[in-house]
Amino acid sequence: MKKPEAAFFSRVLMMGNEAAAEGAIRAGCQCYFGYPITPQNELTAYMAKHMPERGRVFIQAESEVAAISMVFGASVAGARAMTSSSSPGISLKQEGISYMAGCQLPAVIINVQRGGPGLGSIDPSQGDYFQATKGGGHGDYHIIVLAPASAQEMHDMTMQAFILADQYRIPVMILADGRVGQMMEPVRLYEDSPPPAPPKPWALTGAKGRPPQYIRSLFMEERALEKHNYELQACYRQITATEIKAEETETGDCEWLIAAWGTCARISKGVVQKARAQGIKAGLVRPITLWPFPHERLARLARRSQVKALLVVEMNCGQMLEDVRLAVNGAAPVRFSGYPGGRVPTETDVLNALIELTKTNHHGKVEQPAV
Amino acid sequence: MKTPTSGYQRPASLTDAAMHYCAGCGHSSVHKLLAEVLDELEIRERTVGVAPVGCAVFAYFYFKCDISEAAHGRAAAVATGIKRALPDRIVFSYQGDGDLAAIGLTETVHAANRGEPITVIFINNTVYGMTGGQMAPTTLAGQITATSPTGRNPATMGCPIRMCELLNTLEQPYYIERVALDGHGGMVATKKALLTAFQTQVSGKGYSFVEVLSPCPTHFRCSPQDSLKFVGQKMAAQFPVRIFRKEGVPVHA
Amino acid sequence: MHERILIAGSGGQGVISIGKLLARLAAETIQHITFFPAYGAEVRGGTSNCQVILSSNEIAAPIAEKFDSLLVMNQQSTDHFMPLLDKNGLAVINQSMCKAHADDRHVLVPATEIADRLGNAKAANFVMLGVWLARKPLIPNRTVENAMATHFPDAPPALIDINIRAFRAGLDFSSSGDRKA
């Protein structure tokens, strides 16, 4: 991902939800369409106040389905457009997300996850990893998924999301959680003019001085859909080749590798320090792009001879776990420490799981079933 | 405004593509009338249309203006997004009865309620045509369809929804009219209604809605001639043909 | 420096207000801050709490398990959160609303009574903040007083005045000798 160049910053204390909203505004988001749902309401309220002030579009839609369809329309017209919601609302948006993937339309969708399935709870969760990274809607597609762990990252990643969306003509999702959305932290705000959008000759702006054009995801002509899907896959390969992002902490000599994303990655970072203080050589790998997933990075780390086992930490029952196991492919045992009840794990919870792991015999690095 | 072209020329706003519609289908007629209106108002180059899911899904092959697809029922929301992003363009949606009055009822009502300055063209032929003639929200009582094989029974399947009347309960719409495509007179009336609707948008007045009672000989299971009679008699009896809202004011029957 | 603070009370006692104020003001001089207002299941039953972590180093886990400071304003919060006080921690307890056992780590202050005498019992949260800040001078007192008007722009001047006096009363309470229970 390219960083916006020549940016100047000012530092303010902001809630994650507000930091994301301000990030969208500073990224040049022209249209925002929302619908109330906890724990992301501050984002919608922030946009309701600040978008009209700047002469930009804010609509509280009649449903999440309508909101994503309005994003579709604004994107069709060439505008930078965004919606936000939380898990149950994101399920409703999958229709529009699939259509935008099919129509190759850029858009930004923020999911401040809450517990599930169903109505679940309003507490933080990471239960939508599968939905976000494995499609979510129908059809053979991917969207880019970014996982922030701080208010600063809510700001920065929302900006990056607009850049990536325009660059690859693809929906980009910010997969946050209630914790990241609700907490306040100092945020350095991007203070340059919005990163320029690339030309959008495909946008529907009226056929003035050019042949009329259309945007569609329906391909009934012989082999047209096959060709279209190959084009989409080529785009996904390009994204996978250039946009994978992961962060490593203390992985140089680590024997016990934690893999975690979002809020759990942040907690695990603290665990690494605590474990090392006790003489356990722990390290952390944190995927920042959940799709594309850093499979090769994980595989490389797991194959190192000193790595004895991996511990995947998530606020769910084991979702990124599957990608980690695919990446590791038996090179090291992969264990799991999961928290599916809307409770954010403490450092002690994760540290205990790690200590437990170190007590297990890992001769020959045979893969063991997840706990 | 351009002088209307005489009778049987192909409007400049239509492409040369041969339409896929069945013989006697109302869609091809309404397409032509709509294209004539785009020509006469000279707005083709600043118009963006939204096609539905249904028989008119391929509208983008036929109109010589920019057209976007929309998911089933979402055309009014998609049109809202386009119009808000590009307020100086002319934005219309073109939808059937299943799309507009069943799965898209919410989007339809709320776009009208916000008074989005778009033009919504509603083709009511009482059936889901594309999928094989299933019961629609506007199917008449007793009417036989693929999913009401013994006739629509109001006791368990409800009664036909009158969209113009429903939308006319809202404060914001500026223009609402129902016409019947039941012959030459119906063609003239439909053209006039479409012209008024687009003029409403061109002059920045607000939301306009035209419901066209339209023949579907295939699923009415009758000849094109008889399907016109069905529209003019049976359908018009259930769906009164008149102006409901003019210049923002309800018109009483 | 790594200070983990938890402020708790019943809804309406202004615990989120002073937590947010503290975080905002700390942001001027302290590099790393996390403020988390409890929401969801945690706040049902009329209780309210927030965590503030102030640190000179990057804050890894944004939630604390033990706290260096507890500001508790009602009995329920005292019962629930006192076990989370670090062994070297400091608890400021609103004596007007809570029974608490004597402990070297506790400062018992009749915050609600003090605020009530000043004209508004709802200013008890500022008494608590004053007491705590006198013991843990992590931000200058003047900064707090100056921010009262700017931080609460919708508050009437009379209320701001009471809040400032409540805050000063808290500072004085701490400095007026050994008032530990």
Give average pLDDT by consecutive 10-residue segment, chain C, 181 residues: 95 91 91 89 73 95 93 93 94 91 84 96 96 94 88 87 95 70 39
Q: Which chain A residue shows the shortest CA-CA distance from B54? A: A218
Considering the domain architecture, whether residues A267 and A231 belong to the same structural domain is answered as no
Both A61 and A197 in one domain: the answer is yes
Tell me the pLDDT tens digit for each residue of A114-131.
999 999 999 999 999 999
Cis, bond preceding A39 (omega within 30 deg of 0): yes
Is residue A1 pLDDT above 50, yes or no? no
A297 and A212 housed in the same domain: no
Contact call for B82 and A103, based on CB within 8 A: no
Distance from C-alpha of B221 to C-alpha of A204, rounded to nearest angstrom:
39
Q: What is the pLDDT of residue A6?
A: 37
Q: Which of A189, A221, A242 is the last residue of a domain?
A: A242
Structural domain includes residue A3: no
Topology of the domain covering B26-250: Rossmann fold (3.40.50)
B67: chain A residues, CB-CB within 8 Å: 204, 212, 214-215
Q: Please indicate, yes or no, if residue A1 is contained in any of the structural domains.
A: no
The distance of C181 to chain A (nearest Cα, Å) reads 33
Q: Which residues of chain A neighbour C22 with C-beta distances below 8 Å?
A: none
A103 touches chain B (CB under 8 A): yes
Question: How do the domains of chain B map onto residue ranges?
Answer: 26-250
* Residue pair A156/A294 in contact by the 8 Å Cβ criterion: no
Beta strands in chain B (DSSP E): 47-50, 66-68, 90-96, 119-124, 127-128, 134-135, 175-180, 208-213, 243-246, 249-250
CB contacts < 8 A (A, C): 72
pLDDT for res C41: 59
SS3 A350: helix
Whether A130 maps to a domain, the answer reads yes
The structure tokens listed for A296 are: 């090769």
Q: pLDDT value at position A216?
A: 96
Give the separation between CA C22 and CA C137, rounded to whole angstroms. 12
pLDDT band for position A343 (cuts 50, 70, 90): confident
Domain that holds residue A205: 9-242
Average of per-residue pLDDT values in chain B? 96
Of A194, A226, A242, the one marking the end of a domain is: A242
Instruction: Specify the pLDDT at position C42.
Output: 58
Identity of the residue in B77, B78, B85 whose CB atom sits nearest the CB atom of A30: B85
Domains of chain C with bracketed CATH: 2-175 (3.40.920.10)
User: Per residue in A95-108, pLDDT tens?
Assistant: 999 999 999 999 99
Whether B65 has its CB under 8 Å from any CB of chain A: the answer is: yes
Write the CATH number for A42: 3.40.50.970
- Identify whether residues A95 and A178 lie together within a single domain: yes
Is there a contact between A342 and C41 if contact means CB atoms under 8 Å apart? yes
What's A361's domain CATH number? 3.40.50.920
A251-275, pLDDT tens digit by residue? 999 999 999 999 999 999 999 999 9
A76: closest CA of chain B, how far (Å)? 7
End position of a domain, from candidates A209, A242, A275: A242
Q: How far is A236 from chain B (nearest CA, A)?
A: 23
A368 band by pLDDT with thresholds 50, 70 and 90: very low
The confidence band for A362, taking pLDDT boundaries of 50, 70 and 90, is low
A187 and A325 fall within a common domain = no
DSSP helix/strand/coil, B225: helix
| List of chain A residues whose C-beta atoms are within 8 Å of the C-beta of residue B50 | 73
| Chains C and A in direct contact, meaning 3 or more beta-carbon pairs closer than 8 angstroms | yes
Asked if A204 lies within 8 A of B48 by C-beta distance, the reply is yes
Which residues of A fall within a CB distance of 8 Å from B95?
A: none
* Residue whose structure tokens are 């965590």: C51
pLDDT tens digits along B61-113? 999 999 999 999 999 999 999 999 999 999 999 999 999 999 999 999 999 99
Cβ within 8 Å, pair B71-A99: yes
CA distance A1 to chain B (A): 27
Distance CA B185, CA B193 (A): 12
Give the pLDDT confidence score for residue B4 in this predicted structure: 63
Put simply, whether A125 touches C (Cβ < 8 Å) is no
Gap from A9 CA to chain C (nearest CA, Å): 15
Domain co-membership, A142 together with A52:
yes
Let me know whether A262 and A181 are in one domain. Answer: no
Spatial separation of the C-alpha atoms in residues A117 and C68, rounded to whole Å: 37
Count of domains forming chain A? 2
User: Considering the domain boundaries, does residue A160 fall inside one?
Assistant: yes
Specify whether A314 is located in the same domain as A337: yes
pLDDT of B3 reads 67
Give the mean model confidence (pLDDT) for residues A306-331: 97
- Same domain for A282 and A149: no
Residues 6+ away with beta carbon under 8 Å from A191? A7, A8, A9, A10, A26
pLDDT tens, position by position, A277-300:
999 999 999 999 999 999 999 999
**Residue B253 confidence (pLDDT):** 85
